[in-house]
Amino acid sequence: MTSTTTIDVVVLTMNDRPDAFRHAMDSLLAQQDVELRVVVVGNGVEPDHVPAGVRTVTLAVNEGIPAGRNAGAEALAGPGRGEFLFFFDNDAVLPTADTLARLVAEARDHPEAAYIQPRIADPHSGVTLRRWVPRLRAGDATRHGTITVMAEGVVLVRRSDYERAGGWPGRFFLFHEGIDLSWRLWDLGRTGWYAPGVVVHHPATDPARHAAFYRLVARNRVWLAYRRLPALLIPVYLVSWTLLSVARIRSRANLAVWFAGLWEGMKGGHGARRPMSWGTVVRLTVAGRPPIV
């Protein structure tokens, strides 16, 4: 008889989406054929509306999404910890009771993959946003394959790989933390796998709704480059993203905020530098996404 796979699930909350949070938790706790150990992390709040039997962690201040995820994963570490970690946005919904079991099956089929990315789709329109497809050629959201980045709000990660990689970059607060973790996992000789046949629902929101969007995306691009890229690729990466951002950002005010974030990043604060090997650069390039775009 095959033992049931244990998954440690981390959900963040700021108590600002009570209805969506309830739906998310109901769909999570309805999962079958897996054993779940769930923690809800209150980022600067004491979590409300938490179902019975679910563990909670309260952070005194809002430490940001990646730091909150790290705190949740650490809270579930130790004896009995799961083989997998599942990071789950509190406004997402698992539409069927076998969603997590199917993600685990994908992981079994692809042992080389440190993380499995389901297809994220808006529950009303069925649309999968381009930014949710973790590859450059994102026109066909239903094409499976090896991936080099992740849509980190809904992703299954092998705990052993997560711990070897050092977890999420907590200092990022928000944006690009998935690229940092993905690159680190690839540098450990692992890969990622996109499984579009497994669908998770998530509202199609605009990330620019966050007040600090332009500042943080620019700052974190710099930090990402300094943390993970060989020295020769850092200026190439930053120049390419500067040109892309100038072309894409139509508002002068937003562009000014973006450049302020770029300068903030260049002043430091990125944390430990652990650049990927040139072998990893080659592997990422062969996989379809050289680490300069």
Q: pLDDT of 72-116, one tens digit each? A: 999 999 889 999 999 999 999 999 999 999 999 999 999 999 999
pLDDT, average across residues 260-285: 97
**pLDDT at res. 3:** 75
Residue 210 reports pLDDT greater than 80? no
Q: What is the mean pLDDT of the chain?
A: 95
DSSP state of 140: -
Q: What is d(CA 156, CA 195) in angstroms, rounded to the nearest whole number?
A: 11
**pLDDT at res. 2:** 54
Contact between residue 237 and residue 281 where contact means Cβ atoms under 8 Å apart: no
**pLDDT at res. 1:** 34
- Map residue 156 onto helix, strand or coil: strand
Angle at 245 between CA 240 and CA 248, to 5 degrees: 125
**pLDDT at res. 257:** 95
Taking the alpha carbons of 32, 34, 39, 40 in that order, is the dihedral positive or negative? negative
